[in-house]
Structure 1
Amino acid sequence: MLRIQQLVKRYGHDEPVLKGLDLEVPDESVVSIIGASGAGKSTLLRCINRLVEPTSGSIELNGAELTRLHGNELRKARRRIGMIFQGFNLVDRLTVMENVQCGRLGYIPYWRAALRKYSTEDIDRAYTLMERVGIAHYANKRADELSGGERQRVGVVRALMQNPEILLADEPTASLDPVSSRQIMELLQTLAQELQLPVLINIHNVAEAREYTQRIVGMRFGRLIFDGKPEDLDQSAMDTVYSGTPAEDRQQAEQDTSKAVVS
């Protein structure tokens, strides 16, 4: 269970990016976060894993208060939070297996990682996970030789190698073609059920949010202004989330909604 209470993030003396935000994400649930650019979606995810330091508020993961941790305790907590990035964040010159093993960096000494001294247990688990997502045959292939969808699958396995208690996905399909996007969203949906993991996805594509997540949270100007089931996200709710935002954001949201209705 992820529980966020009164979360605030302010940069300098500017207006807060996050304004007293409250959110709970139970186990085995897939929750999407929608909203225009600048709504605070990415900042929220980065506050959860402490890539960005919250200004105030509480972030609790399975009983552990993350905002109070520092040093080694913070390092241990971060390894329980799997992160999937829009830009994949792979090391292109390394093989798929080597990139996947980067998910173990929070658990093994640096010298072992530098010398690529992976344990038999970690190698076996990597193969099992790669087989599960369909990339085991690429184990010895360089990351820069893969397609976008394949690279994102490597990112998913790398996150799972952490044995995470939650998965955070920051625009995981934004760099992918439509077919690969659907495959990645289906994969995240299935993994949440199989591994009993909560998954929190920051996403611009409203159609994908409707189809692949159990709950949609809408953000605007650092606040949560919608929280409900996909079928509850009607045109009125869409207007509330995207009203007053740049025309291109509103247009894209409307297109995504139309796609969802057609499908």
Structure 2
Amino acid sequence: MLKITDLVKRYGTGDPVLKDLNLTIEGETVVSVIGSSGAGKSTLLRCINKLVAPTSGSIVLNGTELTGLTGRQLREARRKIGMVFQGFNLVDRLTVMENVQSGRLGYLSTWAALTRRYPREEIRHAYELMERVGIAHYADKRADELSGGERQRVGVVRALMQRPEILLADEPTASLDPKTSEQIMQLLRDLAGELKLPVLINIHNVNEARLYTDRIVGMRYGRIIFDSVPGDLTDAAMDEIYSGIPSQDRAQDRAADAAAAPRLAT
């Protein structure tokens, strides 16, 4: 279970990017985070894996408080958090297998990592995962020879090689065409169920959030203002998330418009 309590992130002396944010994720659920650019979606994910340090608040993953960790303890905790990036973050000159095995670097000795001497069991596991996502036949191919969808599948497998307790995905389909985007979202959804793994996805495509995730969290100006199942994401809720118009205000506006309509017609 991931439990975030009163999370605040401030850069310098500016206004907080995240403001007293509270969020709990458990089970094999797939949760999407939506909102306008600047809402704090990416910062939220980066605080969870401590790519950026929270200013205050608490982030607990399966009983481990992450916010105060440093050094070796932080490296060990990060092993439990898989991350899929928008820009893939692959090493182009390395093969698919070598990129996938980089997900195990936190477990290898420095010598094994430098010489790329991967344990036989890890190679076998990598092939199993690559077979599952349809890229096993590319194991010896350089990463820069792959399409965008294939590269993102490599990124997914690399994250799963960590044997994570949660999977984070930061705009995983932003660089992909619509059909490939749907395939990646379906893959993430399927893997969540197969591996009993919670998945948290920062995404701009609201239709994909509705279709492929179990729960939608809407953010605006660093706060969560919507948290429910996709069926509850009404036009009024969308207005509030993307336009800053509270649902009750929008309902009042519509009522006023309806009342004014007969007068305007006369």
TM-score range, shorter chain: over 0.9
Q: Distance in 1 between matches of 2:243 and 2:179?
A: 30
1:103 aligns with 2:103: yes
Deviation at 1:179, TM superposition (A): 0.9
Q: Distance in 1 between matches of 2:111 and 2:92?
A: 21
Correspondence for 2:259: none
Higher radius of gyration, 1 or 2: 2
User: Is the partner of 1:67 in helix, strand or coil?
Assistant: coil
Cα deviation, 1:55-107, whole Å, max 9, x if unaligned, reads 00000000100012111011000011000000000000000000000000110
2:12 maps to a residue whose letter is G
1:24 maps to a residue whose letter is T
Correspondence for 1:144: 144
Correspondence for 2:82: 82
Cα deviation, 1:206-258, whole Å, max 9, x if unaligned, reads 0000000000000000000000000000000000000159xxxxxxxxxxxxx
Q: Distance in 2 between matches of 1:111 and 1:88?
A: 26
Correspondence for 1:253: none
1:133 maps to a residue whose letter is V
Q: Distance in 1 between matches of 2:17 and 2:207?
A: 26
Correspondence for 1:189: 189
Q: Distance in 1 between matches of 2:27 and 2:72?
A: 26
Q: Distance in 2 between matches of 1:74 and 1:96?
A: 27
1:21 maps to a residue whose letter is L
Contact 2:54 2:67 in 1 (8 A): yes
Correspondence for 2:165: 165
Correspondence for 2:129: 129
1:38 aligns with 2:18: no
Structure 2: segments with no counterpart, 5+ residues: 246-266
Correspondence for 2:207: 207
Correspondence for 2:252: none
Cα deviation, 1:194-217, whole Å, max 9, x if unaligned, reads 000000000000000000000000
Q: Distance in 2 between matches of 1:101 and 1:234?
A: 43
Correspondence for 1:174: 174
Q: Distance in 2 between matches of 1:13 and 1:105?
A: 36
CA RMSD of aligned residues (A): 0.8
Count the aligned residue pairs.
245
2:102 maps to a residue whose letter is C
Correspondence for 1:65: 65
User: Is the partner of 2:209 in helix, strand or coil?
Assistant: helix
Contact 2:220 2:244 in 1 (8 A): no
Q: Distance in 1 between matches of 2:179 and 2:157?
A: 19
Deviation at 1:192, TM superposition (A): 0.3
Deviation at 1:114, TM superposition (A): 1.3
User: Is the partner of 1:12 in helix, strand or coil?
Assistant: coil
1:224 aligns with 2:220: no
User: Is the partner of 2:87 in helix, strand or coil?
Assistant: coil
Q: Distance in 1 between matches of 2:109 and 2:184?
A: 31
Correspondence for 1:7: 7
What percentage of residue pairs aligned between the two structures are identical?
74
1:16 aligns with 2:13: no
Cα deviation, 1:37-70, whole Å, max 9, x if unaligned, reads 0000000000000000000000000010001211
Q: Distance in 2 between matches of 1:181 and 1:115?
A: 35
Correspondence for 1:251: none
Correspondence for 2:253: none
Q: Distance in 2 between matches of 1:233 and 1:95?
A: 42
